[in-house]
Structure 1
């Protein structure tokens, strides 16, 4: 699922939910709900900010999108 993939990427980068949330200008609870798959329809801007902040390659982003289906 999308949230799980983002959580794994964030954890591998070694940053907290709070740090990522602040960097992409969302609240920590909102980001936690995304990572726990409680919110599955996030906006493209938010998704793009998360991917950029986590330094995900194009291939990694495509893999995440494929896992969302």
Structure 2
């Protein structure tokens, strides 16, 4: 899964942007992960749902158990 994540990060964000500083890169990549990758991007490994939605459902089931 890590290879899939880094492949998506590279293809969808890093290779399309030129960063002037390391801090610019850090901020942009953090925004990508928090606001796109986790909340909106559909993931095949979890039934084509956003990771945030899958995690919320998992937590509900874990607490109920």
| Superposition TM-score tier, normalisation by shorter sequence | 0.3 to 0.5
TM-score after normalising by structure 2: 0.32
TM-score after normalising by structure 1: 0.31
Q: Which one scores higher on RCO, CA 8 angstroms, separation ≥ 6?
A: 1
